[in-house]
Chains A and B, each alone.
Chain A
Amino acid sequence: MHKATFEQRPKRVALFVTCMVDMLYPGVGIAACELLEKNDIEVIFPEEQTCCGQPAFNAGYRDEARKLARRFLSIFGPLVESGEVDAIVSPSGSCVTMTSHFFEAIFEESQETELSHQAERLASVTFELTEFLVDVLGLVSTGAQLQGKATYHPCCHLYRELGVDEQPRKLLDGVEGLEVVDLPHGDDCCGFGGLFAIKNSGISAAMGRAKARYAEQSGADAIALCDVSCMTHINGILSREGVSCRAHHIAEILNNHLGSTLRPPSQPAPAQADHPRRWGE
C-alpha cells in the first residue's frame, strides 16, 4: 500500500483510539496521546468515533461492516481532506488494517467507487502508533525507563498485513534499563482472531496456551505488543493458567505507565488452573 511522505513534519493528527482502548484500556489511549504530544504533535480526538466494524467484517457480515466503515469515513475523511489533520494515528495494528486495507476492498466489492477511493486516500495517511513515531517522526527512543525483562509479540495484522515489525522493536530497544529477550516461536499467532476466540474457543485457547508456554520459556516479566485485542486474549490465558508474566500495550511501556520496575501482576493467580469453565456448572 502506498504511504504518504510528508514534506514538512506533521503538526496535527487525529487519534483513532479504537473502541476497545476507549472502553477497556483508556490508559493505552492516554499513553498514545501523550507520546504524540511530547513530540510536538497536536492531537485531535473526534468524539463521534466508535468502532471500525472489524468484528462484522471478520464474521462475514459485509453490509454491517460497510455501515460502520461509511460512518468512520464520514468522521475522519473531512478532517484529512480539509487539511485539519495531517494524519490518522491509532494504537492498534488490527484496526488500522481494517480501515486501511479492508475498507477499500469492501467498497470495491459493493462498487461504491467514491468511498473506496476515499478509503484509499485515508489509508495513505493512516499510521499505527509505533509506525508513526518511527517512520514519520524519526524517533529511536521515547525516553522511557523501565527495569526488567520484556519480550515482544508481533500481532498478526500489524506484522503480516501492515508489515510493521522493526518500528516497535526499535522503540522497545530504546527503553532504558529494559532487557528485551527473544520470544520463542514469536511470530505464531496468539489465537485471538476475533470471533474465532468464541466460535472455536478450544482451538483458540490451545494456541494461547502455546503462546503462554513460550512466554514463560523466554523468562520475560512482560510481553510488549501493539494490539489490546491480542493483549486481552494473552492476559486472559496467562491469568487463568497461573503464569506470572503479563502482556502490556507498548504505548504504556513507552510512556512510563508501568512504574519504574516490571512487577508480577498484583492479583496472584491460582496455582492450579481449573479449565474449562462452563456456564451452568
Chain B
Amino acid sequence: MQVDIHAPYKDRVQQALGDPNLRVAVSKATDRMSNARRASMDAIEGQQLRSQVRKMKEHVLSNWPDYLEQLESNLTRNGCTVHWAEGVEDAQAIVKDVALQNSANLVVKSKSMATEEIHLNHALEEAGLRVVETDLGEYIIQLADEPPSHIVAPVIHKRLEEIAEVFQDKLDMPPTREPTKMTSLARAKLRQEFFAAGMGVSGCNFAIAETGTICIVTNEGNGRMVSSMPRVYVVVMGIEKLVPTVEDAYLQLQALCRSATGQQLTVYCSMTSGPRQEGDVDGPEQVHVVLLDNGRSRMLARGYGEALLCIRCGACLNACPVYQEIGGHAYGGTYNGPIGAVTSPALAPEIAQFKELPHATSLCGACREACPVKIDLPRLLLDLRSDLVQQGASPKPEAWGIKSYASLMSSRRMYENLGKMASIGSNLYAGMSGGNIKLLPPPLNGWTAYRDFAPFAPKSFRDWWRDRKKLRRQA
C-alpha cells in the first residue's frame, strides 16, 4: 500500500505499517548505511570530527548575519546574482523568473531538499516548463510521482521490483530486474536531457563564505552536469548551509560523506565560484544563488536553533527505529525521520501544524548518537512537546489525565489508595481473563491492542517493607 503524504497522520502511519515490503526495503537500506557510517567514523577519530564540526557550525550560527553578508558579497564579486527569499512564494517566483527570462523550457535538477521545501518542480511545471530530476533516485520517484522519503536516499522505500515496474510503465523498458540495465537506460535518457536543458537547478551542501563558493556532492556526476552544462545555473540554498573557510568546508565534507553513506569522499564534489570567465572552456553563463529563509530565522527565534546545525546527512534517519518501521512519507513533510520531526514543526508558521511529529518518537536517542553534529534531537523533541502543551495544542483528555495524575502522585495517601484499588481491580479482571490482561478501556486500549498487560502486584513493595519492619521490631 502506498503512503499518501497528504492523508492525516494516523492514516499515513497505518498505511506505512500495513505495508510489509516497506519495512523490508527501508530497514535493509538503513542498516547498510548505518553500518557503513559506523565503520567509516571508527576508521578515523570520529568523535573528534563530530566535536570539531559541531563547534564550527555553532560558530557559524552565532555569527550568522556576518557570514551571510560575507557570502553574499563574495558571491557577487565572483559574478553570481544573489537573491534573498523569505518564503516559498518568493523563492518560487525568483527561480521561475530566471527561467522565463532565459527562455529555458527544460530545467534539469540535481537532488535538493531545499527545492522540495519550496515545491519548485510543481511551480515550474505550472509555468509551462519541463523539469527533470537527474539524481537516479529522484528520477525514479519523479517518474512514480512521489516525493522523496529520505534525505539522501530518496527512493529508499521502493524495492528493485517496484522500480522495474516504474521503468517498464514510464520508460517502456523491456521487462528486466537487472540494475545495470535499468541504470543504463536512465543514463541514456538523462544524457539527452542534460544536452537539451536551458537551466540547471541544484541545492547546496554548503557554501564557503570566504571565497563565495557553492559546493554540491553527488555520487553520479549529475550535480556536475547540472552546474556546468546548461547556460544558466540556479542554486537554492537554506541560509544555514554556510561554512566560514575552505578548511571548514573540508571538515564538513568529511563529516557529511562519512555520516551519509560511509564514504571517505563522494565520487563528485563540485565547487562553483561564479559563472564562466573569459577564457574558460565551459561553465554556465549565469549563476543565481537563492538564499532561502523559509522559517529558518523563526526556528532560531523559537529556540530550535540547534537543529540548524544539521548538515542533512540522513544518519539520524538510518539510526531511527521509528523511521525503519514507517519510512519517510508517514512524516508528511519535506524532512523526515528524527530531524524531520523537529524541523517540520519548527520551520512551520505554527508548530501545531505538525503536532503529531514530536510524539512520533520513543526518544531512544539513537539519532543523537549517530548525528555528526551531535544535535540533541530527543531534547528538542521534548521541548516541542512542551511548546505544544503551552499552546494548548494537546488533546484535552490528555491534559486532564496528566493533571489528575500529578495531583494523585502529590499525595502519598492518594498514591497508596490508588495502588490498592488498581491492585484489586486489575487482579480481579486478570483472574477473569486468565492471567494477563488482554483488553483495557480507552485510552489504555492503545496498549492492549498489541500487548498483554500483567496485573498490579497483590502486595506492593512498601507493604513488604512495612511488614518487614514490623517483624523486625517484634523480633
Residues of A within 8 A of B (CB): 17, 19, 21-27, 29-30, 33, 45, 47-48, 50-51, 53, 55-62, 64-65, 67-68, 71, 156-157, 160-161, 187-189, 191-208, 210, 232-233, 235-237, 239-240, 267, 275-279
Contact = CB atoms under 8 A, between A and B. Distances in A.
B457 A279 contact: no
Contacts of B363: 58, 156, 193-194, 196
A51 B415 CA distance: 9
A196 B361 contact: yes
Interface stretch (B55-63, B70-78, B208-216, B321-329): B321-329
Contact of A45 (B388, B453, B462): B462
A192 B449 contact: no
A45 B334 CA distance: 51
A50 B360 contact: no
A47 B412 contact: yes
Contacts of A210: 321, 324-325
Contact of A60 (B394, B409, B445, B463): B394
Contacts of A236: 436, 447, 450-454
Contact of A26 (B402, B453, B461): B461
Contacts of B466: 47
A1 to B, nearest CB: 14
Nearest to B418: A23
B365 A161 contact: yes
A17 B403 CA distance: 23
B47 interface: no
Contacts of B382: 57-58, 60
B250 interface: no
A200 B436 contact: no
B13 A240 contact: no
A202 B448 contact: no
B366 A188 contact: yes
Nearest to A67: B406
A205 B451 contact: yes
Interface string B354-367: 00001111111110
Contact of B451 (A17, A57, A194, A233): A233
Nearest to A71: B410
A178 B277 CA distance: 73
A277 B446 CA distance: 9
A68 B406 CA distance: 7
B459 interface: yes
A203 B322 contact: yes
A198 B453 CA distance: 13
Contact of A22 (B361, B389, B411, B462): B462
B385 A60 contact: yes
A71 B449 CA distance: 35
27 contacts: A22-B460, A23-B461, A29-B461, A45-B465, A48-B412, A51-B415, A53-B409, A56-B405, A58-B363, A59-B394, A60-B387, A61-B389, A62-B386, A156-B364, A160-B365, A188-B321, A188-B366, A189-B366, A193-B363, A199-B446, A201-B449, A201-B450, A206-B17, A236-B450, A267-B436, A278-B445, A278-B449
Interface string B85-124: 0000000000000000000000000000000000000000
B13 A203 contact: yes
Nearest to B383: A60
Contacts of A189: 321, 362, 364, 366
Given A23-B422, A232-B453, A59 B385 contact: yes
Contacts of A67: 406, 410
A111 to B, nearest CB: 15
B368 interface: yes
Given A62-B386, A196-B359, A277-B438, A26 B457 contact: yes
Given A56-B405, A208-B450, 12 more contacts: A21-B461, A23-B460, A60-B382, A60-B389, A64-B403, A189-B362, A192-B362, A199-B359, A200-B13, A205-B449, A236-B436, A277-B448
Interface in B180-233: none
A156 B274 CA distance: 48
Among A59, A65, A71: residue with most chain B CB under 10 A: A59
Contacts of B279: none
Contacts of B360: 200, 203
Interface residues of B, number: 72
Contacts of B429: none
Given A61-B399, A206-B17, A277-B449, A23 B423 contact: yes
Nearest to A192: B362
Contact of B386 (A60, A191, A233): A60
A23 B402 contact: no
Given A71-B410, A197-B447, A236-B451, A59 B464 contact: no
Contacts of B410: 50, 67-68, 71
Given A189-B362, A210-B321, A17 B461 contact: yes
B444 interface: yes
A194 B402 CA distance: 13
B325 A206 contact: yes
B14 interface: yes
Interface in B416-433: 419, 422-423
Given A25-B457, A57-B382, A239 B412 contact: no
Interface in B158-182: none
Nearest to B426: A24
Contacts of A17: 461-462
A203 B326 contact: yes
B397 to A, nearest CB: 12
Across the A-B interface, the 5 shortest Cβ-Cβ residue pairs:
A193-B362, A236-B451, A60-B385, A205-B450, A189-B364
Contact of A191 (B321, B368, B405): B321
A221 to B, nearest CB: 18
B388 to A, nearest CB: 6
B359 A26 contact: no
Nearest to B445: A279
A203 B363 CA distance: 13
Contacts of B326: 203
B440 A279 contact: yes
Contacts of B446: 197-199, 201
A205 B362 CA distance: 11
Contacts of B459: 26
B369 interface: yes
Contact of B17 (A26, A57, A203): A203
Contacts of A29: 461, 464
B17 A50 contact: no
Nearest to B434: A267
A56 B36 CA distance: 38
Among B360, B452, B463: residue with most chain A CB under 10 A: B452
B439 interface: yes
A237 B366 contact: no
